Protein backbone atom coordinates (compact mmCIF):
# COMPACT_ATOMS: atom_id res chain seq x y z
CA UNK A 1 0.00 0.00 0.00
CA UNK A 2 1.32 3.43 -0.96
CA UNK A 3 0.87 6.52 1.17
CA UNK A 4 1.58 10.23 0.99
CA UNK A 5 1.90 13.25 3.27
CA UNK A 6 1.14 16.63 1.70
CA UNK A 7 1.92 19.83 3.59
CA UNK A 8 0.15 23.14 3.03
CA UNK A 9 3.38 24.74 1.73
CA UNK A 10 3.55 22.15 -1.07
CA UNK A 11 6.17 19.80 0.40
CA UNK A 12 5.41 16.17 -0.40
CA UNK A 13 6.59 12.93 1.23
CA UNK A 14 5.79 9.55 -0.38
CA UNK A 15 6.28 6.11 1.12
CA UNK A 16 4.59 2.89 2.21
CA UNK A 17 1.18 2.83 3.81
CA UNK A 18 0.01 0.90 6.87
CA UNK A 19 -2.90 1.12 9.27
CA UNK A 20 -6.25 2.37 7.97
CA UNK A 21 -6.95 2.89 4.28
CA UNK A 22 -8.22 6.48 4.29
CA UNK A 23 -7.06 10.09 4.44
CA UNK A 24 -6.96 12.46 7.39
CA UNK A 25 -6.07 16.13 7.85
CA UNK A 26 -4.39 17.74 10.83
CA UNK A 27 -1.60 19.91 12.17
CA UNK A 28 1.71 18.10 11.62
CA UNK A 29 3.96 17.91 14.71
CA UNK A 30 6.95 15.78 15.70
CA UNK A 31 7.71 13.85 18.89
CA UNK A 32 11.27 12.97 19.97
CA UNK A 33 10.45 10.20 22.48
CA UNK A 34 12.49 7.02 22.12
CA UNK A 35 9.75 4.68 23.34
CA UNK A 36 6.08 4.74 24.35
CA UNK A 37 4.46 5.05 20.94
CA UNK A 38 1.13 3.55 22.09
CA UNK A 39 0.87 6.10 24.90
CA UNK A 40 1.50 8.81 22.30
CA UNK A 41 -1.21 7.42 20.00
CA UNK A 42 -3.78 7.48 22.81
CA UNK A 43 -2.92 10.84 24.38
CA UNK A 44 -6.02 13.06 23.85
CA UNK A 45 -3.72 16.10 23.67
CA UNK A 46 -2.92 14.98 20.10
CA UNK A 47 -6.49 15.46 18.87
CA UNK A 48 -6.38 17.24 15.53
CA UNK A 49 -2.72 16.41 14.87
CA UNK A 50 -0.67 14.15 12.60
CA UNK A 51 2.34 12.92 14.58
CA UNK A 52 5.84 12.33 13.21
CA UNK A 53 7.98 10.09 15.44
CA UNK A 54 11.74 10.67 15.24
CA UNK A 55 12.68 7.27 16.68
CA UNK A 56 13.35 5.24 13.52
CA UNK A 57 11.74 1.91 14.49
CA UNK A 58 8.05 1.98 15.45
CA UNK A 59 5.62 -0.87 16.05
CA UNK A 60 8.16 -3.53 16.97
CA UNK A 61 6.79 -4.31 20.45
CA UNK A 62 3.13 -4.29 19.47
CA UNK A 63 0.25 -2.94 21.58
CA UNK A 64 -1.59 -3.95 24.73
CA UNK A 65 -4.52 -2.60 26.82
CA UNK A 66 -2.29 -1.59 29.76
CA UNK A 67 -0.46 1.05 27.71
CA UNK A 68 -3.56 2.93 26.53
CA UNK A 69 -3.79 6.45 27.96
CA UNK A 70 -7.39 6.75 26.77
CA UNK A 71 -10.04 4.54 25.20
CA UNK A 72 -8.74 5.02 21.66
CA UNK A 73 -5.97 6.70 19.65
CA UNK A 74 -6.50 10.44 19.15
CA UNK A 75 -3.80 11.12 16.56
CA UNK A 76 -5.10 11.88 13.06
CA UNK A 77 -2.24 10.02 11.42
CA UNK A 78 1.25 8.62 12.00
CA UNK A 79 4.49 9.25 10.09
CA UNK A 80 7.61 7.11 10.77
CA UNK A 81 10.93 6.08 9.26
CA UNK A 82 10.32 2.34 9.56
CA UNK A 83 7.11 0.62 10.63
CA UNK A 84 7.23 -2.97 11.84
CA UNK A 85 4.37 -5.24 10.72
CA UNK A 86 5.44 -7.71 13.41
CA UNK A 87 5.50 -7.57 17.20
CA UNK A 88 8.10 -9.16 19.45
CA UNK A 89 7.18 -8.68 23.11
CA UNK A 90 5.57 -10.89 25.75
CA UNK A 91 3.12 -8.08 26.63
CA UNK A 92 1.81 -7.60 23.09
CA UNK A 93 -1.86 -8.38 22.44
CA UNK A 94 -2.09 -7.03 18.90
CA UNK A 95 0.42 -5.93 16.26
CA UNK A 96 0.54 -2.16 15.84
CA UNK A 97 -0.58 -2.25 12.21
CA UNK A 98 -3.83 -4.05 13.09
CA UNK A 99 -4.35 -1.82 16.14
CA UNK A 100 -4.14 1.40 14.09
CA UNK A 101 -6.22 -0.06 11.26
CA UNK A 102 -8.94 -1.00 13.77
CA UNK A 103 -8.99 2.55 15.12
CA UNK A 104 -8.95 4.30 11.74
CA UNK A 105 -5.43 5.77 11.82
CA UNK A 106 -3.43 5.89 8.54
CA UNK A 107 0.35 5.39 8.65
CA UNK A 108 3.06 6.69 6.31
CA UNK A 109 6.37 4.82 6.56
CA UNK A 110 9.70 4.61 4.72
CA UNK A 111 10.29 8.35 4.41
CA UNK A 112 13.18 10.54 5.57
CA UNK A 113 11.70 11.70 8.88
CA UNK A 114 14.86 13.74 9.56
CA UNK A 115 14.15 15.88 6.51
CA UNK A 116 10.51 16.30 7.54
CA UNK A 117 11.39 17.28 11.12
CA UNK A 118 14.00 19.81 9.94
CA UNK A 119 11.40 21.26 7.58
CA UNK A 120 8.92 21.68 10.46
CA UNK A 121 11.60 23.17 12.71
CA UNK A 122 12.54 25.70 10.03
CA UNK A 123 9.03 26.58 8.84
CA UNK A 124 6.98 25.79 11.94
CA UNK A 125 4.11 23.35 12.35
CA UNK A 126 1.65 23.41 9.50
CA UNK A 127 -1.48 21.72 8.25
CA UNK A 128 -1.13 18.52 6.30
CA UNK A 129 -3.00 15.59 4.79
CA UNK A 130 -1.93 11.98 5.20
CA UNK A 131 -3.53 9.56 2.78
CA UNK A 132 -3.39 5.89 1.87
CA UNK A 133 -6.21 6.39 -0.67
CA UNK A 134 -5.85 9.55 -2.74
CA UNK A 135 -2.28 9.91 -4.05
CA UNK A 136 -2.65 13.01 -6.21
CA UNK A 137 -0.23 15.48 -4.62
CA UNK A 138 -1.87 18.62 -6.00
CA UNK A 139 -5.30 17.65 -4.68
CA UNK A 140 -3.89 16.84 -1.25
CA UNK A 141 -1.91 20.10 -1.01
CA UNK A 142 -5.08 22.04 -1.84
CA UNK A 143 -6.93 20.04 0.81
CA UNK A 144 -4.22 20.83 3.37
CA UNK A 145 -4.46 24.56 2.60
CA UNK A 146 -8.22 24.43 3.06
CA UNK A 147 -8.11 22.48 6.33
CA UNK A 148 -9.04 24.35 9.55
CA UNK A 149 -6.32 25.16 12.09
CA UNK A 150 -6.54 24.42 15.81
CA UNK A 151 -5.97 28.08 16.65
CA UNK A 152 -8.98 29.46 18.47
CA UNK A 153 -10.59 26.00 18.70
CA UNK A 154 -11.80 24.46 21.96
CA UNK A 155 -10.97 20.78 21.59
CA UNK A 156 -11.04 20.10 25.34
CA UNK A 157 -14.81 19.72 25.50
CA UNK A 158 -14.70 17.43 22.46
CA UNK A 159 -12.35 14.88 24.08
CA UNK A 160 -13.62 15.26 27.66
CA UNK A 161 -15.76 12.70 29.43
CA UNK A 162 -19.48 13.38 29.20
CA UNK A 163 -20.24 12.03 32.67
CA UNK A 164 -18.45 12.13 36.03
CA UNK A 165 -16.88 8.90 37.28
CA UNK A 166 -14.68 7.51 40.04
CA UNK A 167 -11.13 6.34 39.26
CA UNK A 168 -9.63 3.77 41.65
CA UNK A 169 -6.70 2.15 39.83
CA UNK A 170 -3.17 2.99 40.89
CA UNK A 171 0.18 2.47 39.18
CA UNK A 172 0.78 -0.56 36.99
CA UNK A 173 3.60 -2.59 38.52
CA UNK A 174 5.66 -5.44 37.14
CA UNK A 175 5.78 -8.49 39.38
CA UNK A 176 7.74 -11.66 38.81
CA UNK A 177 5.69 -14.84 38.46
CA UNK A 178 7.00 -18.36 38.26
CA UNK A 179 6.18 -20.67 35.37
CA UNK A 180 7.56 -24.22 35.18
CA UNK A 181 10.80 -24.33 33.15
CA UNK A 182 10.63 -20.55 32.51
CA UNK A 183 10.33 -17.15 34.11
CA UNK A 184 8.14 -14.24 33.12
CA UNK A 185 6.69 -11.01 34.40
CA UNK A 186 3.07 -10.02 34.85
CA UNK A 187 1.52 -6.59 35.18
CA UNK A 188 -0.57 -5.90 38.27
CA UNK A 189 -2.63 -2.81 38.99
CA UNK A 190 -2.46 -1.43 42.51
CA UNK A 191 -5.86 -0.14 43.64
CA UNK A 192 -6.67 2.69 46.02
CA UNK A 193 -7.63 0.16 48.70
CA UNK A 194 -4.14 -1.37 48.53
CA UNK A 195 -2.30 1.96 48.86
CA UNK A 196 -1.08 2.47 52.40
CA UNK A 197 -0.36 5.86 53.94
CA UNK A 198 -2.05 8.76 55.72
CA UNK A 199 -5.69 9.70 55.31
CA UNK A 200 -6.58 9.77 51.63
CA UNK A 201 -7.49 13.04 49.97
CA UNK A 202 -10.62 13.67 47.92
CA UNK A 203 -9.59 15.11 44.56
CA UNK A 204 -11.78 16.34 41.74
CA UNK A 205 -9.94 16.02 38.42
CA UNK A 206 -11.09 18.09 35.45
CA UNK A 207 -10.92 16.09 32.23
CA UNK A 208 -9.73 18.37 29.42
CA UNK A 209 -8.17 15.31 27.77
CA UNK A 210 -6.76 13.53 30.82
CA UNK A 211 -4.30 10.64 30.52
CA UNK A 212 -4.83 7.44 32.49
CA UNK A 213 -1.37 7.57 34.02
CA UNK A 214 -2.17 10.92 35.65
CA UNK A 215 -5.11 9.28 37.39
CA UNK A 216 -2.96 6.30 38.40
CA UNK A 217 -0.34 8.62 39.88
CA UNK A 218 -2.97 10.51 41.87
CA UNK A 219 -4.39 7.29 43.31
CA UNK A 220 -0.95 5.93 44.17
CA UNK A 221 -0.12 9.26 45.84
CA UNK A 222 -3.03 8.85 48.25
CA UNK A 223 -5.98 10.44 46.44
CA UNK A 224 -9.55 9.27 45.90
CA UNK A 225 -10.33 10.69 42.48
CA UNK A 226 -13.59 11.89 40.93
CA UNK A 227 -13.20 12.81 37.25
CA UNK A 228 -15.56 15.50 35.94
CA UNK A 229 -16.33 16.90 32.47
CA UNK A 230 -14.44 19.95 31.22
CA UNK A 231 -17.46 22.24 31.50
CA UNK A 232 -18.23 21.40 35.15
CA UNK A 233 -18.79 24.62 37.12
CA UNK A 234 -16.93 25.81 40.21
CA UNK A 235 -20.13 25.55 42.22
CA UNK A 236 -20.62 21.91 41.25
CA UNK A 237 -17.02 21.06 42.18
CA UNK A 238 -17.03 22.90 45.51
CA UNK A 239 -20.32 21.19 46.41
CA UNK A 240 -18.38 17.90 46.40
CA UNK A 241 -16.18 19.30 49.21
CA UNK A 242 -12.88 18.10 47.72
CA UNK A 243 -9.53 18.45 49.44
CA UNK A 244 -8.07 19.53 46.12
CA UNK A 245 -8.72 20.07 42.42
CA UNK A 246 -6.59 18.80 39.53
CA UNK A 247 -6.58 20.44 36.08
CA UNK A 248 -5.52 18.06 33.32
CA UNK A 249 -3.71 18.19 30.02
CA UNK A 250 -5.66 18.53 26.79
CA UNK A 251 -5.64 19.60 23.13
CA UNK A 252 -6.41 22.84 21.34
CA UNK A 253 -6.03 26.54 22.04
CA UNK A 254 -6.26 27.49 25.75
CA UNK A 255 -7.63 30.93 24.85
CA UNK A 256 -10.74 29.21 23.49
CA UNK A 257 -11.51 27.38 26.76
CA UNK A 258 -13.14 30.44 28.33
CA UNK A 259 -15.49 28.54 30.67
CA UNK A 260 -12.53 26.80 32.34
CA UNK A 261 -10.75 30.09 32.95
CA UNK A 262 -13.86 31.44 34.69
CA UNK A 263 -14.17 28.27 36.78
CA UNK A 264 -10.54 28.44 37.90
CA UNK A 265 -10.93 32.11 38.94
CA UNK A 266 -13.89 31.15 41.14
CA UNK A 267 -12.03 28.24 42.77
CA UNK A 268 -8.68 29.99 43.29
CA UNK A 269 -8.04 30.59 46.97
CA UNK A 270 -10.96 28.38 48.03
CA UNK A 271 -9.39 24.96 47.40
CA UNK A 272 -5.86 23.69 46.57
CA UNK A 273 -5.33 23.45 42.79
CA UNK A 274 -2.68 21.61 40.76
CA UNK A 275 -2.58 21.93 36.96
CA UNK A 276 -0.43 20.47 34.19
CA UNK A 277 -0.08 21.22 30.47
CA UNK A 278 -3.40 22.74 29.31
CA UNK A 279 -4.33 23.05 32.99
CA UNK A 280 -1.18 25.16 33.48
CA UNK A 281 -2.06 27.37 30.52
CA UNK A 282 -5.60 27.84 31.80
CA UNK A 283 -4.26 28.84 35.21
CA UNK A 284 -2.04 31.41 33.52
CA UNK A 285 -5.02 32.86 31.70
CA UNK A 286 -7.18 32.78 34.83
CA UNK A 287 -4.49 34.84 36.59
CA UNK A 288 -4.83 37.49 33.85
CA UNK A 289 -1.79 36.28 31.93
CA UNK A 290 -1.48 35.55 28.23
CA UNK A 291 -0.56 32.49 26.15
CA UNK A 292 1.12 32.23 22.75
CA UNK A 293 1.70 29.48 20.21
CA UNK A 294 5.15 27.92 19.92
CA UNK A 295 6.79 27.62 16.50
CA UNK A 296 6.83 23.81 16.53
CA UNK A 297 5.74 22.94 20.05
CA UNK A 298 7.32 20.71 22.66
CA UNK A 299 6.68 17.00 22.11
CA UNK A 300 8.97 14.37 23.62
CA UNK A 301 10.36 12.74 26.73
CA UNK A 302 13.75 14.41 26.95
CA UNK A 303 13.31 18.13 27.72
CA UNK A 304 15.58 19.65 30.41
CA UNK A 305 13.70 21.87 32.87
CA UNK A 306 15.33 23.89 35.65
CA UNK A 307 13.84 24.48 39.09
CA UNK A 308 14.53 28.17 39.64
CA UNK A 309 14.64 27.98 43.45
CA UNK A 310 17.04 25.04 43.78
CA UNK A 311 18.84 25.03 40.43
CA UNK A 312 18.05 21.32 40.06
CA UNK A 313 17.56 20.03 36.51
CA UNK A 314 14.74 17.62 35.65
CA UNK A 315 14.48 15.64 32.42
CA UNK A 316 10.80 15.87 31.57
CA UNK A 317 8.08 14.74 29.18
CA UNK A 318 6.29 17.38 27.10
CA UNK A 319 3.32 17.56 24.77
CA UNK A 320 2.07 21.08 24.14
CA UNK A 321 1.80 23.69 21.41
CA UNK A 322 1.15 26.77 23.54
CA UNK A 323 2.99 28.42 26.43
CA UNK A 324 2.26 31.03 29.10
CA UNK A 325 3.98 34.40 28.61
CA UNK A 326 5.88 35.01 31.88
CA UNK A 327 5.98 38.77 31.28
CA UNK A 328 2.19 38.85 31.28
CA UNK A 329 1.92 37.56 34.86
CA UNK A 330 1.90 39.83 37.91
CA UNK A 331 5.19 39.09 39.68
CA UNK A 332 3.71 40.39 42.96
CA UNK A 333 1.12 37.56 42.83
CA UNK A 334 2.82 34.78 40.87
CA UNK A 335 6.18 33.08 41.46
CA UNK A 336 7.87 31.56 38.40
CA UNK A 337 9.16 28.13 39.47
CA UNK A 338 10.48 26.27 36.39
CA UNK A 339 12.00 27.19 33.03
CA UNK A 340 12.81 25.15 29.90
CA UNK A 341 16.55 25.07 29.19
CA UNK A 342 16.04 24.55 25.45
CA UNK A 343 14.18 27.78 24.75
CA UNK A 344 13.61 29.51 28.13
CA UNK A 345 9.84 29.07 28.01
CA UNK A 346 7.97 29.15 31.31
CA UNK A 347 7.47 25.62 32.67
CA UNK A 348 6.00 26.21 36.13
CA UNK A 349 4.35 28.76 38.40
CA UNK A 350 3.02 29.04 41.94
CA UNK A 351 0.66 31.63 43.40
CA UNK A 352 2.18 33.60 46.28
CA UNK A 353 -1.05 33.67 48.32
CA UNK A 354 -3.34 30.90 47.07
CA UNK A 355 -2.71 27.13 47.35
CA UNK A 356 -2.20 26.85 43.60
CA UNK A 357 0.67 25.67 41.40
CA UNK A 358 1.13 24.25 37.92
CA UNK A 359 3.69 22.95 35.45
CA UNK A 360 3.71 22.96 31.66
CA UNK A 361 5.24 19.50 31.33
CA UNK A 362 3.93 16.02 32.24
CA UNK A 363 5.14 14.82 35.67
CA UNK A 364 3.30 11.52 35.20
CA UNK A 365 5.45 10.88 32.06
CA UNK A 366 4.14 7.74 30.30
CA UNK A 367 6.20 7.78 28.24
CA UNK A 368 9.14 9.59 29.77
CA UNK A 369 11.37 9.92 32.84
CA UNK A 370 10.17 9.94 36.44
CA UNK A 371 12.15 12.97 37.63
CA UNK A 372 9.00 14.96 38.32
CA UNK A 373 6.89 12.48 40.28
CA UNK A 374 7.56 14.59 43.39
CA UNK A 375 4.96 17.09 42.19
CA UNK A 376 2.14 14.70 43.09
CA UNK A 377 3.54 14.45 46.62
CA UNK A 378 3.73 18.27 46.71
CA UNK A 379 0.05 18.41 45.79
CA UNK A 380 -0.88 15.99 48.60
CA UNK A 381 1.24 18.00 51.05
CA UNK A 382 -0.46 21.23 49.98
CA UNK A 383 -3.88 19.65 50.56
CA UNK A 384 -2.80 18.40 53.99
CA UNK A 385 -1.55 21.83 55.07
CA UNK A 386 -4.43 23.87 53.63
CA UNK A 387 -6.76 25.35 56.24
CA UNK A 388 -9.09 27.35 54.05
- Active-site amino acid positions: 277, 362, 364
Q: Tell me how far the alpha carbon of residue 347 is from its chain's centroid.
A: 15
Q: By C-alpha distance, which of 205, 201, 148, 194 is closest to 169?
A: 194
Cα distances (Å, whole numbers) of residue 257 to 82, 155, 308, 310:
37, 8, 29, 33
Q: Are the CB atoms for 276 and 214 separated by under 8 Å? A: yes
Residues with Cβ < 8 Å from 252, sequence gap 6 or more? Answer: 47, 48, 150, 153, 154, 155, 156, 278
What's the CA gap between 337 and 347, in Å, rounded? 7
63 beta partners: 94
How many residues can be counted in the chain? Answer: 388
Helix (H) or strand (E) segment spanning residue 41? helix 37-41
Strands 273-276 vs 223-229: parallel, antiparallel or unpaired? unpaired
Q: Are the CB atoms for 323 and 329 separated by under 8 Å? A: no
What's the CA gap between 21 and 98, in Å, rounded? 12
What's the CA gap between 342 and 352, in Å, rounded? 27
- Among positive and negative, which fits the CA dihedral 16, 18, 21, 27? negative
Q: By C-alpha distance, which of 239, 248, 203, 241 is closest to 221?
A: 203
Radius of gyration of the chain (CA): 21
- Among positive and negative, which fits the CA dihedral 285, 249, 267, 326? negative
Cα distances (Å, whole numbers) of residue 317 to 82, 144, 325:
23, 29, 20
DSSP, res 63? B
Amino acid sequence: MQAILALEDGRIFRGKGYGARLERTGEVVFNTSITGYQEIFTDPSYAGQIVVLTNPEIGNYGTNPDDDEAGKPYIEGLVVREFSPYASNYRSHQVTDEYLERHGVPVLSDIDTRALVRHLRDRGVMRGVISTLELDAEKLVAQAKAAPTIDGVDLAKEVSTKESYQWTKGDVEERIITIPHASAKSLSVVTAAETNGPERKKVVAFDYGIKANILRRLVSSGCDVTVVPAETTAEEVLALAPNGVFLSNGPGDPDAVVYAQKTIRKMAGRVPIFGICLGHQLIGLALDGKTYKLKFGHHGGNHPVKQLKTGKIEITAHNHNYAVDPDSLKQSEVELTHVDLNDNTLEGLRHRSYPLFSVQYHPEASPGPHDSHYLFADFVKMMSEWRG
